[in-house]
Structure 1
Amino acid sequence: MKRQFYLNKILPFFTAFLLIFVCFSASGQCKEKISESNDQKVHYHEIPLKGKSEYLTLSRTGEERLFSYHNTDLDLVFHARMFTEIRFISSTGNFSLFTTSSDRSRWFTAFTLTSPLTPKEILKMRGTEKIEIILPEEKRIFIVSASSNNLIRKALGCLK
């Protein structure tokens, strides 16, 4: 009798805790950090492209939404001050992002391209099938699998 009483009292709390845990774990695994430059909270999500050395990041700081491409193995000595195109082929519409600079230096060897995102581009990213990064010395092409597209959709949830 006492066992049933405790079970009836504990079960609703345990169920509520479990629901909260599931909601947070299914929210796209958004990560947070504090920006070093302006002390604002940054919400971001990383999407692997090729191993651990090449990945995308979708991030949000306040109202600003950014797309970044990172590559720690790219053997590009310097990045010329010219437009670099990042082309998205998507079932919801193709589009390109453009950037004019990278964060590559002798001290920071990771190559990073960053571009702001508009709400229209964010909607089109949901059906991404292929991403092309057109650099001065080479062209990187990534076919987006169904599992990677699910990661992109989860990351887009972090941008809200």
Structure 2
Amino acid sequence: MSDCIYNVLFLCTGNTARSILAESILRKDGHRNFRAFSAGSQPKGTVNPFAIKVLNRLDYPTAELRSKSWEEFAGSDAPVMDFVFTVCDNAAGESCPVWPGQPMTAHWGIEDPAAVEGTDIEKEAAFVAAFRYLKNRIAAFTSLPLVSIDRLSLGTRLRDIGRIDGSTFGQDRAG
């Protein structure tokens, strides 16, 4: 891969779980070529403790993680994003800010681990599953030949990544 560093923003509604997991995974697994960020349309202001627990257990960075608004990344002083991925279906359906630089976008929806009710073991298992799904997507993304692929093909590949195992794509939203 080239020496280019790409900025990647992961979006969710609350910015407490999925987008936080994705930010941490890309920070570690893609640190040579990517800068990872996360944000929410309606940030809750805190990171889910199960997200922190799973990331710590799997030796992924947590020190700088915080729940924040996507407005931080829409201003003129924000880093220009190369890629913006929604990881929850609610954020995918919302009107996003106009991102400077016209980044490539795709929806990589997975079930919300923070919505799981039950024992702490069941909740943690949901976070581990979400971590695994996101790690697989990020591995597929970081292996793409970003320097040599045309924009149209890249868009197709990014959308295809969002449909791999664990995807909420095509699920019935009626209930």
TM-score for the superposition, normalised by structure 1: 0.28
Question: Quick check: which one's helix share is greater?
Answer: 2
Question: Quick check: which one's strand share is greater?
Answer: 1
